[in-house]
């Protein structure tokens, strides 16, 4: 009988993976054990060891106070309101120092989850049954992207909260959203709280960047037909946006910076070109989609952060950031 990958003596009780993620791990372990090779058994041992380590991370997470609960230290009470006051005064440089310990531990645990699921994805490629391997590889890729989505949403919210040009009330609402993520790290998933981003990121991975006249028409149609959230697309196509928001959306569509897009536009004008071919490298079947998505987002985020710090023209937030600002504004209005 196949052992449950959870079967470990003195196992920590905290569970960092949800039922669907544990089911995936169980299936991969069963398939590996059927091959009865030494490499497969080594892989099973590694899965069990890493899962045990993940649970130790989760147990450590629960030892620190939740930012959603009041704490009293030497007669002084701290809670969500004091956390909001502290975090809205932070910038990108000071935010990690001001963040509660549970948030920092949870962030590390999230990266450990991502690396664990990436390992599982790689192991599905070594399964003997090609049909089963293909199915489990697709499932593992989706579970991996779910973990990556959590990391990305956290970065979007931190980016908004640390921008002093955003209304304080909006940033305060962003801190409350972060506190909800931090305080419920073991059960929090993006598709339940920010489906607008979950669906759009999934759709964007299926878009083939064409380039063409750099108007983005082909990419936009693909994004919509692949299942992007209508609210996300409407924000940039309804006419209520500004120039920087449109630039951020073009960065999202093409997977490259505004500066590079401007350079390409000048080249087209100088050379009399009516179209140009682009390769955003988002569609790369040889790599796991979680890593591709993470790099696709982070490269745009770093460009935006650099412009904000240096006072340079161009988008100060990613397209996802501008959409989240609008969402937080609606939350404040309610």
Contacts of 7 (CB under 8 A, 6+ apart): 48
Is 91 a domain residue? no
pLDDT score of 13: 67
Residue at 215 is within a domain: yes
Q: What's the pLDDT tens digit per position in 20-67?
A: 999 999 999 999 999 888 999 999 999 999 999 999 999 999 999 999
What's the start-to-end Cα distance of the chain, in Å?
A: 55
pLDDT at 205 (0 to 100): 93
Average pLDDT over residues 207-231: 92
Would 266 be classed as within a structural domain? yes
* Letter string b/e over residues 34-71, b meaning 16 or more CB atoms within 10 A of that residue's CB: eeeeeebeebbeebbebbbebbbbbebbeeeebbeeee
Arithmetic mean of pLDDT, 204-233: 92
In a domain, 253, yes or no: yes
* Overall size of the chain counted in residues: 334
In a domain, 118, yes or no: no
Q: Is residue 8 part of a domain?
A: no
Q: Does residue 260 belong to any structural domain of this protein? A: yes
Q: How far apart are CA 319 and CA 304, in angstroms?
A: 10
The answer to whether residue 182 is domain-embedded is: no
Tell the residue number behind the tokens 């089911």, with chain if given: 23
Give the total number of structural domains in the chain: 1
Structure token digits, residue 199: 């669906």
β-pairing, 71-73 vs 76-78, is antiparallel
Domain enclosing residue 275, as ranges: 194-334
């Amino acid at each position: 009988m196949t052992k449950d990958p959870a079967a470990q003596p003195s196992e920590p009780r905290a569970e960092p993976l949800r039922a669907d993620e544990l089911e995936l791990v169980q299936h991969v372990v069963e398939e590996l054990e059927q091959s009865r090779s030494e490499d497969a058994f080594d892989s099973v041992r590694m899965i069990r060891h890493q899962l045990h380590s993940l649970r130790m991370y989760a147990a450590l997470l629960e030892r620190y106070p939740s930012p959603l609960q009041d704490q009293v230290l030497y007669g002084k009470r701290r809670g969500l309101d004091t956390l909001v006051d502290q975090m809205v005064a932070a910038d990108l440089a000071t935010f990690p120092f001001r963040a509660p310990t549970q948030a920092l531990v949870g962030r590390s645990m999230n990266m450990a989850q991502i690396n664990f699921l990436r390992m599982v994805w790689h192991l599905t490629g070594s399964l003997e049954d090609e049909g089963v391997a293909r199915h489990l590889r697709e499932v593992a890729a989706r579970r991996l992207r779910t973990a990556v989505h959590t990391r990305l949403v956290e970065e979007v919210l931190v980016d908004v909260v640390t921008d002093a040009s955003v209304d304080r009330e909006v940033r305060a609402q962003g801190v409350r959203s972060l506190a909800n993520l931090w305080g419920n790290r073991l059960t929090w998933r993006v598709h339940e709280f920010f489906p607008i981003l979950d669906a759009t990121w999934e759709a964007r991975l299926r878009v083939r960047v064409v380039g063409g006249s750099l108007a983005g028409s082909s990419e936009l149609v693909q994004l919509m037909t692949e299942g992007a959230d209508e609210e996300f697309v409407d924000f940039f196509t309804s006419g209520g946006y500004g120039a920087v928001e449109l630039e951020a959306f073009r960065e999202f569509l093409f997977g490259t910076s505004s500066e590079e897009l401007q350079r390409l536009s000048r080249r087209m004008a100088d050379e009399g070109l009516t179209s140009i071919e682009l390769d955003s490298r988002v569609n790369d079947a040889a790599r796991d989609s979680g890593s591709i998505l993470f790099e696709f987002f982070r490269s745009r985020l770093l460009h935006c952060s650099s412009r904000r710090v240096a006072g340079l023209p161009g988008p100060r937030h990613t397209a996802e950031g501008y959409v989240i600002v609008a969402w937080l504004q609606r939350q404040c209005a309610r």
